[in-house]
Amino acid sequence: MTNSWFALLAIALETSGVTGLLSPEAGDVQLAAYLVAHAVACALLAIILLPLLPSRYRGQPITTGAFLFTLQFAIPFIGSVGLVIGILLALYLPRSSRDIPWQEVDIPELPFQPIDMDLQVVYSQGGLRQVLREASNTDKRLKALMATRQMNDRDAIDILREALKDPADDVRLLAYSMLEQKEKILAHRAGVLQQSLQTSDDLDSVSLQRRLAQVWWEMAYLGLAQGGLRQYYLESAGRVLKRLVARRSQHNDWRLLGRVELALGNIDNAEEAFNSALAGGSAPELIMPYLGEVAFLRRDFAQVRQHLSACPPERFHPANRPVIEAWL
């Protein structure tokens, strides 16, 4: 209702001002009266038009209102009409058809688009083995090998080693290439650490030796090294870890040493290392499954249950939970 009165008042002011200006007796007084009436009419129309603009233009009402007033005041009478028609209709009635500035094409195959991991099928180890063994299509077996990139390294390496027996050359070459890449990464890391040890001081050498032992253990644990080479990596890691625990006993070093000794088949040494890790402050849920494995190798099944029952149930590692629940 207010806007209607403002609109009628603006039209009356504008009409009276123009009428006075066009009269035969028009002079400076009529010109001044018209300018005042025109200014008031432009201000009223600016107040009316401001709420009608889209929200993005109403964020700065002073600046927008000044623009509306100036545009109308600069063009007597016609400015208000042109503003309504030229601006408001253009904003609220955009053209219905637009020229599309792009061309739609089909989605290209990989590797020309990134992988959306949420849409990817996460294969299990058994599922990939079944594909490699039973799929007659070579492309399916190749995709199964590529899917191992979503798995942890140990499971992936087992599958890649099995793929080395595939009858198709492409599958064997891809599996060999992926295995070699993983081995090169760890071998390069071990070489860099050994070079750094030659120039490091006594304090830095402790950290470097610990990392080197972890790399050697990883080479054996992941199955990248076989036979005599695996034995060499395990024994080298064991020697480094023994020097570290002799210098400064840390439960993480004892735990890794226990795993190395267990992999070498030294059950007594492994048990001693795991007990030292417990005494050094290691969490029971990290050590008890290994002590249970030691007891199992000794065929002391009562001791297996005793060790596993000492693990806090709420802290079971997901990988150990099925084994622990089966025993208990």
Confidence at residue 121, expressed as pLDDT on a 0 to 100 scale: 45
Q: How large is the average pLDDT for residues 30-47?
A: 72
- DSSP H helices, 50-118, are 61-74, 78-83, 89-92
Confidence at residue 120, expressed as pLDDT on a 0 to 100 scale: 46
Work out the burial of residue 181: count CB atoms within 10 Å of its CB; fewer than 13 is exposed, 13-18 middle, 19 or more buried: exposed
- Let me know if residue 133 belongs to a domain: yes
* Joined tokens for residue 180: 């070699």
Task: Mean pLDDT check: name the lowest of 33-37, 51-55, 111-115.
Answer: 111-115
C-alpha distances (whole Å) from 290 to each of 87, 251, 267, 270 are 78, 14, 11, 9
- Let me know if residue 297 belongs to a domain: no
Task: Mean pLDDT check: name the lowest of 52-61, 129-138, 155-164, 207-216.
Answer: 52-61
- Let me know if residue 10 belongs to a domain: yes
Q: How many CB atoms lie within 10 A of CB 259?
A: 21
> What gap in Å lies between CA 9 and CA 17, rounded to an integer?
12
How many structural domains are present in the chain? Answer: 2
| Contact assessment for residue 57 and residue 64, using Cβ atoms and an 8 Å cutoff | yes
Side chain identity, residue 134? E
Confidence at residue 321, expressed as pLDDT on a 0 to 100 scale: 75
- Let me know if residue 26 belongs to a domain: yes
Q: How large is the average pLDDT for residues 71-76?
A: 71
- Let me know if residue 15 belongs to a domain: yes
**Range with the largest mean pLDDT of 23-32, 93-102, 134-143:** 134-143
Confidence at residue 122, expressed as pLDDT on a 0 to 100 scale: 47
Confidence at residue 118, expressed as pLDDT on a 0 to 100 scale: 45
> What gap in Å lies between CA 180 and CA 38, rounded to an integer?
85
Domain finish residue from 199, 222, 239: 199
Q: How many CB atoms lie within 10 A of CB 3?
A: 13
Please tell me which residue, 226 or 80, carries the higher pLDDT value: 226
Peptide bond into 111 cis (omega under 30): yes
Q: Which residues span the domain enclosing 6?
A: 2-92
Containing 243, the helix (H) or strand (E) segment is helix 227-247
Distance of CA 314 to the CA centre of its chain: 28
Domain finish residue from 147, 168, 199: 199
DSSP-derived secondary structure letter, 84: I
Q: Are residues 8 and 87 in the same domain?
A: yes
Q: Are residues 122 and 175 in the same domain?
A: yes
- Let me know if residue 240 belongs to a domain: no
- Let me know if residue 286 belongs to a domain: no
Q: How large is the average pLDDT for residues 159-181?
A: 85
Side chain identity, residue 46? A
Domain finish residue from 58, 92, 126: 92
Please tell me which residue, 80 or 295, carries the higher pLDDT value: 295
| Contact assessment for residue 178 and residue 160, using Cβ atoms and an 8 Å cutoff | yes
Widest distance between CA atoms in the chain:
124
3-class DSSP state of 60: coil
Task: Mean pLDDT check: name the lowest of 44-53, 85-94, 182-191.
Answer: 85-94
- The length of the chain in residues reads 328
| Contact assessment for residue 291 and residue 307, using Cβ atoms and an 8 Å cutoff | yes
Q: Are residues 62 and 140 in the same domain?
A: no
Q: Which residues, 6+ apart, have CB-to-CB distance to 154 below 8 Å?
A: 221, 222, 223
> What gap in Å lies between CA 70 and CA 328, rounded to an integer?
86
3-class DSSP state of 154: helix
* Joined tokens for residue 195: 């070079």
Confidence at residue 109, expressed as pLDDT on a 0 to 100 scale: 64
- What DSSP line would sit under 167-180, residue for residue? SSHHHHHHHHHHHH
Q: Are residues 127 and 195 in the same domain?
A: yes
Token pair 């760890």 in the structure block, residue = 186
Confidence at residue 174, expressed as pLDDT on a 0 to 100 scale: 87
Q: Are residues 79 and 131 in the same domain?
A: no
pLDDT higher than threshold 80 for residue 78: no
- Let me know if residue 219 belongs to a domain: no
pLDDT higher than threshold 70 for residue 18: no
Confidence at residue 126, expressed as pLDDT on a 0 to 100 scale: 63
pLDDT digits (tens, 9 = 90+) for 112-140: 455 554 444 445 556 777 787 777 888 88
